[in-house]
Chains A and B, each alone.
Chain A
Amino acid sequence: MSKFLSLENIEKRFPIPGKEDYVAVTDVNLEIKENEIISIIGHSGCGKSTLLNMISGLDAQTQGAILLENKHVQGPGPERAVVFQNHSLLPWLTVYKNIEMAVKKVMPELNAKALKERVEKFINMVNLDHAKDKLPDEISGGMKQRVGIARALSIKPKVLLMDEPFGALDSLTRANLQEHLMRIQQNVKNTVVIITHDIDEAVLLSDRVIMMTNGPDATIGEILDVNLERPRNRVELQHDPEYIRCREAILSFLYEKFAKDDE
Chain B
Amino acid sequence: MNSELIKKIFLPLVVFIFIIQIWAGISNIVEDFPTPSDTYVAAFGGVNSEGDEIVGVLTDPFYVENQDDKGLFWQILESLKRVFAGFVLAIIVGVPVGLFVGMSKNAQYALNPFIQIFKPVSPLAWLPLLLFIFQDINMTAISTIFITSIWPIIINTSLGVKNVSEDYMNVAKVLRFSPMEKITQIILPVSVPYIFTGMRLSLGIAWLVIVAAEMLTGGIGIGFWIWDEYNNLNYHNIIIGIIVVGLIGFLLDIIMGKIADYFDYTKKGRA
Cβ of A141 within 8 Å of any chain B Cβ, yes or no, is no
Cβ of A58 within 8 Å of any chain B Cβ, yes or no, is yes
CB contact under 8 A between A102 and B170, given known A90-B186, A91-B265? no
Question: What residue in chain B is nearest A92 (Cβ atoms)?
Answer: B265
Query: Quick check: B167 and A88 within 8 Å, CB to CB?
Result: yes
Query: Quick check: A77 and B176 within 8 Å, CB to CB?
Result: yes
- How many angstroms from the CA of A81 to the CA of B167 in the assembled complex? 14
Cβ of B181 within 8 Å of any chain A Cβ, yes or no, is yes
Which of B170, B174, B190 is close to A80, meaning CB atoms less than 8 Å apart?
B174
Question: What residue in chain B is nearest A102 (Cβ atoms)?
Answer: B175
Cβ of B10 within 8 Å of any chain A Cβ, yes or no, is no
Question: What residue in chain A is nearest B181 (Cβ atoms)?
Answer: A105
For window 123-140 of chain A, which residues contact chain B by CB distance below 8 Å?
A: 135
Cβ of A76 within 8 Å of any chain B Cβ, yes or no, is yes
Query: Quick check: A84 and B167 within 8 Å, CB to CB?
Result: yes
Which of A77, A78, A82, A155 is close to B170, meaning CB atoms less than 8 Å apart?
A82
- How big is the B interface, by class? 10 to 19
Query: Quick check: B167 and A86 within 8 Å, CB to CB?
Result: yes
Q: Which of B167, B174, B265, B266 is most buried by chain A, counting CB atoms within 10 A of its CB?
A: B174
Q: Could you tell me the distance in whole angstroms from the C-beta of B74 to the nearest C-beta in chain A?
A: 42
Query: Quick check: A82 and B174 within 8 Å, CB to CB?
Result: yes
CB contact under 8 A between A90 and B170, given known A105-B176, A105-B181? no
Question: What residue in chain A is nearest B268 (Cβ atoms)?
Answer: A135
- How many angstroms from the CA of A77 to the CA of B173 in the assembled complex? 7
CB contact under 8 A between A106 and B186, given known A58-B170, A86-B167, A92-B265? no
Q: State the majority secondary structure of interface residues on B.
A: helix
Cβ of B104 within 8 Å of any chain A Cβ, yes or no, is no
Query: Quick check: B175 and A92 within 8 Å, CB to CB?
Result: no
Query: Quick check: A90 and B175 within 8 Å, CB to CB?
Result: no
Chain A positions within 8 Å of B268 at CB level? 135
Which of A84, A92, A102 is close to B189, meaning CB atoms less than 8 Å apart?
A92
Query: Quick check: B174 and A90 within 8 Å, CB to CB?
Result: no
Q: Could you tell me the distance in whole angstroms from the C-beta of B127 to the nearest C-beta in chain A?
A: 41
For window 143-198 of chain B, which residues contact chain A by CB distance below 8 Å?
A: 167-168, 170-171, 173-177, 181, 185-186, 189-190
Chain A positions within 8 Å of B189 at CB level? 90, 92
Q: Mark A43-85, 1 if CB is under 8 A from B, else 0.
A: 0000000000000111000000000000000011110111010
- How many angstroms from the CA of A77 to the CA of B171 in the assembled complex? 10
Query: Quick check: A81 and B174 within 8 Å, CB to CB?
Result: yes
Cβ of A101 within 8 Å of any chain B Cβ, yes or no, is yes
- How many angstroms from the CA of A76 to the CA of B181 in the assembled complex? 16
Chain B positions within 8 Å of A101 at CB level? 175, 185
Question: What residue in chain A is nearest B177 (Cβ atoms)?
Answer: A105
Q: Could you tell me the distance in whole angstroms from the C-beta of A141 to the nearest C-beta in chain B?
A: 15
- How many angstroms from the CA of A77 to the CA of B174 in the assembled complex? 5
Q: Could you tell me the distance in whole angstroms from the C-beta of A98 to the nearest C-beta in chain B?
A: 9
Query: Quick check: B265 and A76 within 8 Å, CB to CB?
Result: no
Chain A positions within 8 Å of B185 at CB level? 101
Residues on A close to B: CB < 8 A?
Answer: 56-58, 75-78, 80-82, 84, 86, 88, 90-92, 101-102, 105-106, 135, 155
7 contacts between A and B (CB under 8 A): A56-B174, A76-B174, A77-B176, A82-B170, A88-B170, A90-B168, A101-B185
